[in-house]
Amino acid sequence: MSTGLVFIAIGGIYFLPAWRLWQYSGAIGKLRFSPTLQALDDAIDRQRCFWKTVGIITVCAIALYLCLGAILALTVSTVASDPELFLTP
């Protein structure tokens, strides 16, 4: 069950950039058939929103990896310094 929840969370993370990219695609389609400055402005704004979303998700992922790496390093250093701590009979 926990694996299913992880897959749902990952799907949720992928949904937002995909939705932003879909909006950008629609704006580009409108620009193709109606080349006006308003359509161009809308397409550029949708592209900006997409890259902003991807950037925020990337920064959050890097921060998560750094935190998990720090926790792992602390755990390994604790076990290496006193292995008897985890080998109780």
More confident residue, 86 or 79: 79
80 pLDDT higher than 80: no
Q: Residue 69: its pLDDT value, please? A: 95
Residue 8 CB-density burial (10 A; 0-12 exposed, 13-18 middle, 19+ buried): exposed
Specify whether the CB–CB gap between 49 and 18 falls below 8 A.
no
Residue 84 CB-density burial (10 A; 0-12 exposed, 13-18 middle, 19+ buried): exposed
Please compute the mean of the pLDDT values over residues 63-67 and round it to a whole number.
96
How does pLDDT run across 2-58, given as a tens digit for each residue?
889 989 988 988 999 999 999 999 999 999 999 999 999 999 999 999 999 999 999
Contacts 24+ apart (CB under 8 A), 46-49: 46/20, 49/20, 49/23, 49/24
